Amino acid sequence: MILVIGHKNPDSDSICSALATTALLKARGFKAKPIRQGKVNRETEYILKTAGVAQPELCTNISGKKVWLVDHTDLAQAADDIGEAEILGIVDHHRLGDVMTINPLEVWIWPVGCTCTILFNLFKIEKVQITQQLAILMMSAILSDTVAFSSPTCTLKDKDAVQELAKIASVENLDEFTKSILIAKTDIKGLSATELVEKDLKAYTHNGHYLMIGQVELASLDQVSNLIKDIEDDLEIRCKKNNSPFSAIMLTDIMTARTRLIYKGKWADNLNKYRKNGMLMMENTLSRKKQCWPWIQSELLKSV
């Protein structure tokens, strides 16, 4: 049995690409099962409900198992015991991280907007039929990850994939479908500051230091204006608890593509020179992997 696993604190791509990879491996004749490393978020819940697909089983222990990784290759985002698992394959669209393998493996890493875009192309290459359910899952993940094609991570391949998947999924009104995904994505009603920080928090290792960067996608920054102080307090505590020199949250207005960065930790001073009116605003910034994280890395590197 091959387990297919996305990153910790899973987003829609991590769940949908685990489901799609499982279907691909089954079509190749393998026994495979999708698993998840944490609670699914509201947007993913909405997507699974729309497609009529059950959540993958929660499983964080993969020691001794054969696995395919989807949507991550950073150890800090992988299951804690990944060192004792055998990685047979990877499908991902992030920077190459620090996982290591003992045996040769099958790797599909493309610089596209979503892991599901790569999978859509693998289904085509291998002439494996895409069911309506899978089409809904994959196109939803692509629309989510690319923020409806507006992220700088988005490529022509992502747009083409959605066009074709919409036909298979029998989605007649793509604009309405897209809008419903974005509404589910930016639904933060009733969430506490800590829940917001943890909503899409990712960890990275940088020169041996443990860093955390989360992102909350919003329809307006006003949605969180009352929670800024509590978010800062949460980040401060999180740095102490993890012995981490830096943690941050991107508060991203997906309508205007502006991100307010809230950040704490002993390396935080490095970014203070970019503050205006007491806050750090990043214009035209939607993407953590392609815009925010590379910039933060280069700024923090100066201090190490």
What residue ranges bind Mn ion (CB under 5 A)?
13, 71, 115, 145
Torsion angles phi and psi, residue 300, rounded to 5: -75, -30
Three-state secondary structure string covering 158-221: HHHHHHHHHHHCCCCCHHHHHHHHHHHHCCCCCCCHHHHHHHCCEEEEECCEEEEEEEEEECCH
Task: Read off the amino acid at residue 138.
Answer: M
Report, in Å, the least distance between residue 33 CB and Mn ion: 20
C-alpha distances out from residue 180 to 136, 163, 174, 195, 270, Å: 13, 17, 10, 22, 39
We find the least distance from the C-beta atom of residue 17 to Mn ion, in angstroms, to be 7
Measured distance between the N- and C-terminal CA atoms of the chain, rounded to whole angstroms = 43
Q: Which residue is nearest to Mn ion (CB)?
A: 13
Q: If residue 229 lies in a helix (H) or strand (E), which one and from where to where?
A: helix 228-241
Measured from the CB atom, is 74 or 234 closer to Mn ion? 74
| Token pair belonging to 275 | 């503050």
Of 113, 109, 95, the closest CA to residue 151 belongs to 113
Min. distance of Cβ 145 from Mn ion in angstroms? 5
- Minimum distance of Mn ion from residue 32's CB (angstroms): 20
Please identify, using beta-carbon distances, which residue of 43 and 71 lies nearer to Mn ion.
71
Nearer to Mn ion by Cβ, of 62 and 112: the residue is 112
Helix (H, G, I), strand (E, B) or coil at 122: helix
Of the pair 13, 234, the CB lying nearest Mn ion is at 13
Contact 49, 147 (CB under 8 A): no
Token pair of 66 as six digits? 């054969």
Shortest separation between residue 6's beta carbon and Mn ion, angstroms: 8
Q: What is the dihedral of CA 45, 50, 56, 60, to 10 degrees?
A: -20
Cβ 304 to Mn ion shortest distance, Å: 28
| Residue whose CB is less far from Mn ion, 83 or 111 | 111
Torsions phi, psi for 235 (to 5 deg): -65, -40
Measured from the CB atom, the residue of 115 and 259 that comes closer to Mn ion is: 115
| Residue 50 DSSP SS3 | helix
Residue (22 or 244) nearer to Mn ion, CB? 22
- Is there a contact between 2 and 68 (Cβ–Cβ < 8 Å)? yes
Nearer to Mn ion, 44 or 270 (CB): 44
Tell me how far, at minimum, the Cβ of 119 lies from Mn ion, in Å: 11
Tokens 């990275």 appear where? 204
Give the nearest distance from C-beta 178 to Mn ion in angstroms. 17
